[in-house]
Amino acid sequence: MRGSVDGLGSSAPIGMMLPAVFADDELAQRFVAGLDDVLAPILNVLDCLDSYFDPSLTPADFARWLGTWVGAETDGTEPEPRLRAAVAAAVALHRVRGTRRGLSEAVRLAFGAEPEITESGGAAWSARPRGAFPGSPRPHLHVVLRLPDPTPADTHRLDTLVAAARPAHMPYTVTVTTTTVTSIERTSET
């Protein structure tokens, strides 16, 4: 948390700006020195304001707040490096939201692992009319995430993330598993 910092000098001391008649007045100098102590943290923040909007430089608590400004997919439990990466990538992720690439990147940023995404759609072309449509006629999305030590909280987090980043019309299922056969699955038909 930012606040008063003992010994932090002001970048613009008020005592130096007083009229000459107050330059030798000890009471006036001590009074404005107290104001300098109050204003120094504010001036320090303003001097470094551009650093507050850079996710790699900003204080951790401000990075979390900055994430709410840019719509980063965070839940408050991620480690600081992953939080900073999610905030830095949020704007670019909004450009690809609802696509396979966007969903994959959002999951990778949230969990630090690549998901396996299976979708029912497809794209193809044919030189002849009335060709077969690609993919399955019923839309569906399935996301598998392999983690070293999965928990039900990971499944809930993945479900929330996929619900937010998937195409709006797609029903989906999520599975969180390890490299062994143990898995936790959740289905949504929305």
Q: What is the pLDDT of residues 147-166, one digit of tens each?
A: 998 888 999 999 999 998 88
Q: What is the pLDDT of residues 19-58, one digit of tens each?
A: 988 888 999 999 998 888 888 888 888 888 888 899 999 9
Determine the average pLDDT of the residues in 56-73: 90
pTM over 0.75: no
Nearest to 63 by CA among 73, 71, 52, 47: 52
The pLDDT assigned to 168 comes to: 83
Residue with token string 């007083």: 18
